[in-house]
Structure formats: C-alpha cells, structure tokens
C-alpha cells in the first residue's frame, strides 16, 4: 500500500530537518550560480549597457553566455543533490561533496537528455490537447529520478517512470500535487516574511538613486536564497514517492500509449484512490 499524502509530507519534512546540515551544502551550491546570474545581469545592465556587437547589445550576449554556463553548473549540483537526498532516505552514507559532484558528472548528459525529452513530450501533449500533456507529465514525472538515482539510460528512465505510474494514475497525481502545493505555500510565506524589511526600504528609497538599485539587487539575491532553502522540500517529497512506488509496483491496468492512436483524445483513467 502506498504511503499516504500526509505521511509523504511528514516524512519529507522529517528528512529535511534531520539532514539539514547535510543538505545545506548543496542548497548553497545550487543557489550560488543563480545569485551570480542575478549579479551579472545587474552589472552588465548598469555598467555595460551601451556596448554593442552587430545588432545585439554586447552586454546581452555576454549575459546569455554567462547565464547558460551558470545554469549548467546549477543543474550539475542539482543532480548531485538529488542523489544525496536518495542516500539520506535509504539510510546510506553519502560520500564527500567532491565525490558526489564527480559522480554527478558521469550522469550529467543523461540527466540533461531525459529532462529535454520529458519537456518535449509534455509540450507536445499540451499542443495536441491539454489532457494528453497532463498524462505525459505524470507518466514521465520520475524519469529524472530514475536516471539520476538509479543510473538508468534516458529511454529506460522514461519507460520505468511510466511503469511506476501505470495502474495508479490518480493516486500518484494527488501524492505529487498536494505536497508540492503545501511546500510551495510554505516557501512563499517564508519569502514574503524575509522580504518585508527590504520591501519597506525600497518603498522609502527614491527609484532613481543608485541605492535603490543596490537594494533591489540585494532583495533578488535574498529571494533566490530563500527559494534555494525551501525548494528542496518539494524535491524530497518526489524522491520519497519515487522509492515508495518502487516498493509497491503493482496496480490496475490504465490506458497505454498505443491507445493514443485512436481519434478520441486521451483522458485520465477512472478515479480510484
């Protein structure tokens, strides 16, 4: 029997709390690239906005390159982070940060590949009709976890993700949806509380002053850091559900991909919680 929604939320928070020091290093590692993107945009916009290269602003081109590189670094750190979360949930001892990052390097490209294919599948479904997009999104929700945690290849990861969902579509949907909403609300509340002093300062600072730009930059960095601290709760909930689904792989038959060939649009299986 699958873990209940409440138990997933409680277990996720407990895992987060008990391993906070262990996770914090990777929270910082995923935060730093994003913060550098924010700082780069601020510097290039305010100090190099007049430079051009052809028809495009030079500052824009430099920012685009820097943002892509830093996003790749953040993604790499995230791959290592999800593996550390999996180790914590299964009671394994994680290696050093350097070793975990080195292991993440080996599966960086498969993780990129499965992310791209999952996004394309979902977007393709959304373009056809909304419902197929939602079905594909749920089918492949655990593809990234399969590739990063279990070192499967891209296609195997997508097939295994779909196999985990088959037979319990609604059960999996609610167990993904509600923890995400709960932890999302927590993150928004925390961010608003943290930003209140800065919001007050910005309201009482002249928008044309250099001090206003500085405070705005600081507010964005703090917001990014708050997001990096609380977003892992959602990731942890997904990892917990992933392992619970693997423990109990049985379920009833649901519509398969082949049925999409009919002229009628795909629809979610009959509700059975």
Q: What is the pLDDT of residue 50?
A: 55
Instruction: Work out how many domains the chain is built from and give that number.
Output: 1
Residue 138: inside a domain: no
| pLDDT tens per residue across span 186-241 | 988 988 888 888 888 888 888 777 788 888 888 889 989 998 999 899 999 999 99
Residue 61: inside a domain: yes
Residue 24: inside a domain: yes
Residue 18: inside a domain: yes
Q: What is the pLDDT of residue 258?
A: 34
Half-sphere exposure in the Cβ direction for 206 (13 Å, CA)? 3
Distance CA 16, CA 262 (A): 45
From residue 223, alpha-carbon distances to 29, 126, 188 in Å are 16, 31, 10
| pLDDT tens per residue across span 156-188 | 999 999 999 988 889 999 999 999 999 999 988
More confident of the two residues 72 and 52: 72
Residue 63: inside a domain: yes
Residue 77: inside a domain: yes
Q: Bridge-partner residues for 53, per DSSP?
A: 56
Q: What is the DSSP string of 45-77?
A: HHHSTT-EETTEEHHHHHHHHHHHHHHHHHHHH
Confidence of residue 106 (pLDDT cuts 50, 70, 90): very high
Residue 263: inside a domain: no
The pair of three-digit structure tokens given for residue 130, joined into one six-digit string: 């909304």
Q: What is the pLDDT of residue 59?
A: 64
Half-sphere exposure in the Cβ direction for 136 (13 Å, CA)? 22
Residue 205: inside a domain: yes
Residue 234, domain extent: 5-106+167-250
């Amino acid at each position: 029997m699958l873990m209940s929604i409440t138990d997933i939320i409680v277990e996720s928070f407990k895992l987060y709390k008990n391993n906070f020091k262990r996770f914090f290093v990777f929270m910082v590692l995923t935060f730093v690239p994003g913060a550098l993107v924010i700082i780069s945009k601020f510097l290039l916009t305010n100090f190099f906005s007049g430079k051009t290269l052809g028809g495009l602003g030079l500052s824009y081109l430099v920012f685009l390159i820097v943002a892509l590189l830093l996003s790749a670094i953040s993604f790499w750190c995230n791959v290592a982070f999800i593996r550390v979360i999996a180790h914590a949930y299964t009671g394994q001892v994680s290696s050093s940060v350097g070793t975990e990052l080195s292991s993440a390097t080996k599966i960086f490209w498969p993780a990129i590949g499965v992310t791209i294919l999952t996004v394309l599948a979902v977007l393709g479904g959304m373009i056809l009709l909304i419902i197929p997009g939602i079905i594909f999104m749920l089918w492949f929700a655990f593809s990234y976890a399969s590739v990063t945690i279990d070192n499967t290849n891209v296609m195997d990861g997508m097939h295994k993700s779909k196999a985990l969902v088959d037979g319990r579509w609604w059960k999996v949907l609610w167990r993904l949806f509600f923890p995400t909403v709960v932890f999302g609300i927590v993150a928004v509340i925390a961010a608003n509380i943290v930003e209140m002093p800065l919001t007050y300062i910005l309201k009482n600072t002249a928008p044309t002053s250099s001090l206003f730009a500085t405070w705005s930059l600081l507010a964005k960095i703090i917001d990014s850091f708050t997001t990096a601290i609380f977003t892992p709760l959602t990731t942890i909930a997904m990892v917990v559900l992933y392992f619970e689904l693997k423990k109990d792989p049985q379920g009833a038959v649901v519509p398969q991909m082949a049925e999409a060939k009919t002229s009628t649009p795909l629809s979610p299986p009959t509700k059975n919680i």
